Amino acid sequence: MDPYILKKDFPVLDDDTLCYLDTAASSLKPWKVIKKLDEYYEKYGVNVHRGVYNLSYVATQKYDESRLKVSEFINSTFEEIVFTRGASSALNLVASSYGLNNLTEKDEIIVSELEHHSQVLPWQNVSNITKAKLVYVPLNNEGRITVENFKSVLNENTKVVALNYVSNVMGYISPIKEIIALAHEVGAIVTVDAAQAAPHKKIDVVDLDCDFLSFSGHKMLGPTGIGVLYGKRHLLEAMPPIEFGGDMNDNVEKYDASWKEAPYKFETGTPPIAEAIGLGAAIDYLNEVGLDNIAKHEYDLKEYTVNKMKELGDIIIYNETSETGIVSFNIEGVHPHDAITYFDGDNICMRAGHHCAQLVIRWLKVVATLRISFYLYNTKEDCDKFIKTLKEARDFFKSVGF
């Protein structure tokens, strides 16, 4: 893959002063995806599943095609893919439907401090309602979830394991396959937050044997407002819907009703049709470039940048050993919100704050961090520009007395 050629597919990057290093928050979108949204609105912008006319049939077909693409993307089947509003909704669906209906006070839920709020808070809610116990895997000294530490909290009472595949702050890849196998030995189900994994690495749900896996469209070149929940078919079939209304029902009586099969029983109301179709186009684009190539490219840029950052001095890097394209760091003595304004002045987009993961920020014993994250459209020049500004920022803040 050639990032210099790929860059041209992203209209936001027409501004060649822009250095976009915030893909972990949201990726940029290529023309192919943007055009796909237009195509829906221009050519067949009507509702799905309802109209008994050709145009609605076309829209439904495109919508279904996209679901099929998503299912193939992670090696699952059509019926196992639920479209949601985003990864957050997908993770919430598992907690609200599976969690609230299957857990009791005797049960335990394993989470970690490395989770995004969207993974830990829904289970905190389940724990508060069902009185099931919320248990945290101790992180190792680098802030990683390890198999050994996971074993130390796993027991016969564990019913749910809710962990990330790739951390949005540390960029670590969790040993999720081993964790899933161990969890299954005690009869627990595993729900995987793959929001930072799906855009960057090949996922095979059959190989992982995960029970649920969630991700977002907008972090993988797709539109906002669309996410995916994968669930094993027998689990989805046994789970009650959490939202009720049009399109999800089968037979409706005055005091009772029945539901469609999964995935439709979880998708009430007019779905994000254009967004789902746009996600299909994003998956085509990623497949064309190849996820393995993307992962290697991001890692190489990350290594190149981290080495330069270490040469600068006075830069604290929190996740040097990360296997992906995410770097969390601070300039010694400078609050990240002071620093970010300096980068903004050079048109470098990056993140400052707690990245919707307050628990790991607290674990790091800092108030917040700066974060850069790479993707397929980033180049070595982006890294060099970032390093140049980082050096200037460090010198500037020192000179004014930080």
CB 197 within 8 A of CB 53: no
Q: Closer CB to another protein, residue 110 or residue 370? A: 370
For residue 36, CA distances in Å to 27, 63, 74, 95, 273 come to 17, 12, 22, 33, 11
Q: Is the CB of residue 147 less than 8 Å from the CB of residue 178?
A: yes
Piece of the chain touching another protein by CB under 8 A; list 76-84, 148-156, 199-207, 334-342: 334-342
Q: Where are the alpha helices (DSSP H) in 163-290?
A: 176-185, 205-208, 233-238, 273-289
Read off the amino acid at residue 16. D
**91-to-98, 102, 243, 305, 331 alpha-carbon distances in Å:** 11, 16, 14, 33, 34
List, by residue number, the catalytic residues: 356
Q: Cα torsion at 347, 354, 153, 210 (round to 10°)? A: -40
* Strand partners for 214: 193, 229
Interface with another protein (CB under 8 A), residue total 19
Contacts of 388 (CB under 8 A, 6+ apart): none
Residue 368 binds another protein, judged by CB under 8 A: yes
Sheet of strand 108-112, all strands in order from the earlier edge strand to the far edge: 81-84, 227-231, 212-216, 189-193, 158-164, 108-112, 133-137
User: How many Å apart are CA 375 and CA 365, to the nearest integer?
Assistant: 28
Contact residue for another protein among 136, 299, 304, 402 (CB under 8 A): 402
CB of 358 to another protein, least distance (A): 8
Nearer to another protein, 25 or 186 (CB): 25
Q: Tell me: does residue 342 bind another protein (CB under 8 A).
A: yes
- Least Å distance, CB 12 to another protein, is 18
Assess 354 for contact with another protein (CB under 8 A). yes
Name which of 293 and 341 has its Cβ closer to another protein: 341
Does residue 314 touch another protein according to CB under 8 A?
A: no
- Tell me the three state secondary structure of residue 20: strand
Q: Rule CB under 8 A: is residue 352 a binding residue for another protein?
A: yes
**Cβ pair 137, 162 in contact under 8 A:** no
169 lies in the binding site for another protein (CB under 8 A)? no
Closer to another protein by Cβ: residue 39 or 346: 346
> Which of 35, 337, 380, 388: binder of another protein (CB under 8 A)?
337
336 binds another protein (CB under 8 A): yes
Q: Least distance (Å) from another protein to the CB of residue 77?
A: 39
Q: How far is the CB of 197 from another protein (least distance, A)?
A: 24
Tell me which of 245, 287, 345, 381 binds another protein, using CB under 8 A: 345
Interface residue with another protein, options 344, 380, 381, 395 (CB under 8 A): 344
Where along the sequence are the contacts to another protein (CB under 8 A)? 335-338, 340-342, 344-345, 352-354, 361, 367-368, 396, 400-402
